[in-house]
Chain A
C-alpha cells in the first residue's frame, strides 16, 4: 500500500499535481496494489476532483504511454 503523503514526502521535487500524477503511475507500475488517500495534495494546480484523477491514473497506469 502506498499513501499520497508517502509519495509527496519522498519526492519533495514534485511541485505540482501533474508531478504527483506521474508518481502515482510509477507507484502502480512498481507493483503497489493499493493507493490510500490520506491527505489532500495542496498544489496550485490540484483540480476539484483530485481523488478521481489520481484513482484513474493509478488504475490505468499500465495503459498510459511510458
Chain B
C-alpha cells in the first residue's frame, strides 16, 4: 500500500457510486485513480510466503487479501512445499477455502476433489485440448466457453506449480479491471460494445467423449449484480470464436488485443515449484515450453464459481 509512510490497507472494495456505470463519470474517475495508484509494478510485489496452507497466520491472510485488493491476484510461495500429491491437493483446497473459495467448478478434466492436473498428455480425455500440450496459450480468462451469467461462471481460480519446465512456461498476467480502464479511457464505446450480451460467442463443440457442448454466448465484461464486482470472459484465440458482427465490436476487440500486447502494467511470472497464483480469474497467457520426458511441467488448477472473499482474511 505505502512505502515507508502512513497509509491504510487497500480493501479492494468499491467506492460509493458505480465506477462501472458509463453514466457515472465521477465514480469512475475516483476508482480509476485509486486503482492505478496501488497497482503493482512488478510481479514480485504480489508474492506472499505461506508456511502452512492449512493453518494460515493472520499476516499471511492479510497479505494475500492486500494483493488481491490491489490486483485481483496474489502470487504465493509454499515454504516448504508438500512433497506428496495427496497432501498437496488437500493443502490447495484448504488454501482456497481460507478465502471463501469452496464452490469448485465441476470440470470434465477434474478428479473427484475438483483439482485438474495441467500437464502434457499423450492419451485420455484431456488429449486434444491445448492446456495439456506444451504449446503456447493465448490471452484468456478461464472458462470463457462456459458462461451462464455473472453468477454461473468461473469467477476465481488457483494455479499451483508442482514442477516447472526446463525452458519456457511463463505467464503474463493482467487484472481485467486494468483492461477495462484502458479501454474506457480510449473510448467508452469499447466498453458498451464488450458489455453487450452477445459480444463474444464460442461455437458448439463435440468433445472426445461424444458429449456436445452447446454454443456459449455472452459479454466480455460483466458486473455481478450483488457484489458489484467486474468480471471478464475473454479469449484472444482466432479460431472457434465469433465476435458480434458489427464495426464497434471489432474495433473494441482489436483495441483489447493491442492493450494485452503493449500495456506496461502487464506482469510477467514464471512459476517455480511450490509457487502459485490465486486470483479473481484474471487475464493470463502461457508461453510454450520444453520439458524432459520423465518429469515434465506439472501444474494443478482449481476453478471456483465465487470470488475471493477478502473479509475471510
List residues of chain A with CB under 8 Å of any chain B CB.
1, 3-6, 8-10, 12, 34-42, 51-52, 55, 58-59
* B66 at the binding interface (Cβ < 8 Å): yes
Interface of B is mostly: mixed
* B51 at the binding interface (Cβ < 8 Å): yes
How many A-B contacts if CB must be within 8 Å?
A: 63
Structural contact, B3 and A34, CB atoms closer than 8 A: yes
Give the shortest distance, in Å, between A55 (CB) and chain B (any CB).
5
28 A-B contacts, Cβ less than 8 Å apart? A5-B66, A6-B49, A9-B48, A10-B49, A34-B3, A35-B3, A35-B4, A36-B1, A36-B2, A36-B4, A37-B2, A37-B4, A37-B7, A38-B1, A38-B9, A38-B63, A38-B66, A38-B67, A39-B9, A39-B59, A40-B9, A40-B62, A41-B59, A51-B6, A51-B7, A55-B4, A55-B6, A59-B4
Chain B residue at minimum C-beta to C-beta distance from A32: B4
Give the shortest distance, in Å, between B98 (CB) and chain A (any CB).
15
Residues of B within 8 A of A3 (CB): 63
Residues of B within 8 A of A39 (CB): 9, 59, 62-63, 66
Give the shortest distance, in Å, between A10 (CB) and chain B (any CB).
7
Chain B residue at minimum C-beta to C-beta distance from A36: B3
Give the shortest distance, in Å, between A21 (CB) and chain B (any CB).
14
Interface string of B49-88 (1 = CB under 8 A from A): 1110000011110110011000000000000000000000
Structural contact, A12 and B57, CB atoms closer than 8 A: yes
Interface string of B26-63 (1 = CB under 8 A from A): 00000000000000000000001111000001111011
Chain B residue at minimum C-beta to C-beta distance from A40: B9
Give the shortest distance, in Å, between B276 (CB) and chain A (any CB).
16
User: 6 extra interchain contacts, Cβ-Cβ under 8 A, other than A39-B9, A42-B58?
Assistant: A5-B62, A12-B57, A37-B2, A38-B1, A38-B63, A55-B4
Which of A1, A5, A51 makes the CB contact (< 8 A) with B59? A5
* B5 at the binding interface (Cβ < 8 Å): yes
Chain A residue at minimum C-beta to C-beta distance from B67: A38
CA A55 to CA B3, docked complex, whole Å: 9
